[in-house]
Each structure stands twice: as structure tokens, then as C-alpha cells.
Amino acid sequence: MVTSSGSLGSWETKSIVTNMFPLLIVLCIIVLWAGITLEDAEALLETYGLLAVMVPTMVDMGGNLGAILSARLSTRLHLGTTEFDPRDRELWTNIGAVLALAATIFTTLAVGAWAIGQLIGSVLTLSTLLIISLTSGMAVAVIAIVFSILATYGSYKLGIDPDDTTIPIVTNVVDVCGMVIFIGVSSLVLGF
């Protein structure tokens, strides 16, 4: 969920590549941590294959929620309709909506994974999957909210367009948190 490369003014192949490639390498190095966490959890995943089914969603969804919130906040900042005020009701409306979306999606993820488990044969019960999915999902949602707010307001204060670099970095950092928390919560719940 990244929507800009730095210099939208330029449509030259060479400048698009030279502007963007360094950022891509930085993002790869950040997400490499998620990869190493996944590799470490290989034995866990081989025992409970259903967890592997949940991995891509757990990794993407935190970033998606963060990107949605950041985009809404940065649009409102550009429009001049908000200041950074913790009593701002619209800010809390957005936060509430993101939390409600997270609760819905991570409940659906658990049910979907459970249904797949019935087909491929899995020992994990629906309640175990709900505990794992909602605990890690809601934790990631809270992290996504905090990071998105700090990054959007921070870059606005510094005069940087958040679309350029802040949102890509935040969504990738949140992706990493999604993986680390999901593997951690799963190991804890399953006593692995």
C-alpha cells in the first residue's frame, strides 16, 4: 500500500528508477526481519500448517489499516481541517472505525482459516484461531494507528509530504510487527 515514489513531476524512466530504488532497498532490509522471524518459526508452521495460511493476511493487514488511516489524516491535514489535538473528535472517529474494521477482518480471518482447516485437516479449533487472530490482529491495529498518527503529523510538521516516504516506511514497519506479533502470540497460545 505505497502510493508514491518521490518525484511525481518526472516521467523519465531513469529518474523514476534512481529516485525509488534506494528506498526499495531500505524497505527490503526492514522487512528482512519479518522473513527471519518466519524462517525461525518453520517448525511451528510445519506442525500447524494452518498458521502458514494466515501469514500473508497477518503481514499485509496491519500495513493496509495504517495506510488507510494515514491517507485519511494526510488528506485532512492538506485540507487544513485538523490540528494535532488529542481531543479532536474526528480523529477518534477515524481511530474507532479502524479498530472496528480490524475486529471484523481478524474475526473473519479466523473463521476463514478454520473453514480451510476443516478441508485440509487441522487440529486447531475455532476458539484457538479466534484467540490467536484477534489478539495479534488487534495489537497490530493499535501499533498501526500509533505509528500512522505519529508519522503523518511528524512529516507534516517537518514539511515533508507523507505520501512520499513516511507512509511506505510506516506500512513496512507495521508489516514486520504483524509477523513478529503473530508468530509470538501463536507460539505462546500453542505452547510451542
Partner 1 sequence: MEFRSEFWSIYRETLPILVVALGGGLFAGLVLEGMLESVERFPGLLVMVPVFLATRGNVYGALGGRISSGLHQGLLSPRFEWNDRLVNAVVASFINGIGISIVIGVISWGALTLLGRPSAALAELVGIMFIAGLLTSFVMIGGLLGLIFTGYKLGYDPDNLVGPIVTTLGDIFGMAFLFLSVAIIEVIL
State the residues that interact with partner 1 by CB under 8 A. Answer: 1-5, 8, 11-13, 16-17, 20-21, 23-25, 27-29, 31-32, 34-36, 38-39, 42, 45-46, 49-50, 52-57, 59-61, 63-64, 67-68, 72, 89-90, 92-94, 96-97, 100-101, 104-105, 108-109, 112-113, 116, 120, 163, 168, 171-172, 175, 179
Distance of CA 172 to the CA centre of its chain: 7
Cβ 82 to partner 1 shortest distance, Å:
13
Among candidates 98, 101, 111, 102, which has minimal Cα distance to 53? 111
Among candidates 82, 64, 78, 85, which has minimal Cα distance to 161? 78
Grid coordinates standing for 157? 510538521
Q: Report whether 1 contacts 67 (CB < 8 A).
A: yes
Cβ 47 to partner 1 shortest distance, Å:
11
Which residue number, 8 or 150, has a Cβ lying nearer to partner 1?
8
Cβ 159 to partner 1 shortest distance, Å:
20
Among candidates 180, 181, 189, 185, which has minimal Cα distance to 34? 180
Which residue number, 36 or 157, has a Cβ lying nearer to partner 1?
36
Which residue number, 47 or 157, has a Cβ lying nearer to partner 1?
47
Query: What 3-state DSSP class applies to 75?
Result: helix
Radius of gyration of the chain (CA): 18
Cβ 71 to partner 1 shortest distance, Å:
8
Which residue number, 123 or 157, has a Cβ lying nearer to partner 1?
123
Among candidates 65, 148, 61, 162, which has minimal Cα distance to 112? 61
Cβ 72 to partner 1 shortest distance, Å:
8
